[in-house]
Chains A and B, each alone.
Chain A
């Protein structure tokens, strides 16, 4: 599987949103629906409990800052009043300056409060995000491997990155905005009614009519957004598929068919595209309309009232400003509501992982013992990946210290199951596996792992220097030991030819061949130097000369160790003391090469099919 595919596994094409957020722009695109809104919020609130005191301060700042802004129009009204009073007689500029200075101070204080609130929320949200990521990461190390074998990497990774990001964004922006918006909304209503009830009622009513109108449009438009996402996904999927299979499309002259499907999708996409684009584009003119409509209503109604002398003219000035303060937060509240929804869906996913059941804690009592000899026994081992599907029914085997065990079977026969059980990556359903007579289930997992060195077929290296890759987590390893291990596997000379020698960074630029990577992992296992060994022989993609090196290195590694080899080479199989033959997950035969051949069972059949001339 290519890296690109890995990037996308676990996500359907439809979920792959285009960069830039699609037709977002102020339009409440339908977010993912969380399953239990309230529960997830309270889980997130409990998780963020330690931030509660600062959060309360932030809320107070937001409310205070907004309240100061809300007093503005009232003060402006007073200023207007002073000017109007002096229109004929001469304006009291000292009084105006006085009032204006007060208001300016209030505005500055208000802004300062909002600034403090934003800073606090930035700190809180990033702190929570960071903790979420850390918790997920350390959680991963406590989860049973069963979890990873049944979940795609993409799925887990997106919880570490996308989902925590979404949560952070909401906490940082939306939550603060929600508080100020609500305060602004309620506050401006209160202020308007204090100024003049009639005019206030007219202002509120006229804006609400506009919003009712808008919500109808939003409701109707949702289905276009849905279908737009769907076609976008289908289109991206088709393009990805055709580009990835470019040589096949060419080789089979399938360009025309691909083009036909593309044109069909492109037409449908264009159609749904302009609709959703248009509808999301409507939001701005609509907001403008609502603002204007409120403005007109206040102006006209205010003027009529002023003519009647039931209000003073400056009240109209105040209302013009209040209508603006009143309409702005409404749109923001609507927008925040949808972000909240996808946030809850994200936190649901994150907490699902954080609350996932962990491995049973290690049993107490059995401490680390001296150097193990490496005698392994399987006694009536029973195991299944799913509880109702037992695949290993009753495995009994006795491996003396220092013996070699070959595990053979066709692809997909479940050879890695044995590794999973030996390393205690999975727990047995019945029976015991003992090392030197001690059941592995009674040891701490760390100690079980310490008993084994392991070289797997997919050569896992990480970003770091060659030296770091070989030493890995082992402590107290000298450089001489690393060099000795590399010399033993025949890698030393090659490493010295690299520009940085042992300190060469292994990165994306694949500067090691598959075989060399394999050699590095073998060297790593040599440094680990545990009494037992698990080895997965490589099958392909290694050039012949390196292949010989790898084989020699593997032979050296198995010396003096009880080894379990997932074998592909016949020489390994023939030389093994015990061969475990696997088929469809179960061990169907065991014995050595000549015994198994003589038995004429599955092994014999496999052996013959592999090497017989067809």
Chain B
């Protein structure tokens, strides 16, 4: 394997890892506030379809990305209304959001299957992109990839040294205590859920506008679920999400690696890899069950009912 091939594989790894980073960072913030949103897959599909439809009708990729984010937010509000305001079961509501999102996106996108657009093009960053190898891998990507770097920085900073981060954590660890401290638990949770929706909507837009500029039913192919496993794998830490997402990204493009090494493996068998890797990660985590339990937000999955 020569260096060019390795660089190309790593370049593709960053591209494949990007939607996972976006979804997982959003879900991490959401879970930190104690809300488990299993509807990522549905929100992802809605972001993808709305973004694509907007790109076709308006011709503006910028508007398309914005509307993808809006679609994610609207879906998350639906989830938030049911699970926060109406205190419904978060697991069931999340599943419903996924089934609903899959159905609605298939319906909305039915006349857009097979339509082609010019997707978001890579944009080299001056100077940085000229660094050997690293430049090609990280700085000759498209703008949404750079945005994922920035958003990683933002989320990292929020939990490292911001007041909002402390509030989110307080709400997620012990909502009663947070409430007693004067934090509006529902408000914080709504904000966290909306942030998660925006991130996942953006990830959906990335899929249909940059990664593969097209719409196909169910095109997210389980990335929303993989991202959910990734959050646990990363024990709710932003930097580990980055690392994990790129590892999963690498697993998803194994066919490139295999071709590079001259192996002939059926593509459908290689396509199983990210899912098998997710299961492997879940098994690995179990060897350290206590640690997972300790790093999980205490109130994760439990609705909060304010005492009146």
Q: Do A and B bind each other?
A: no
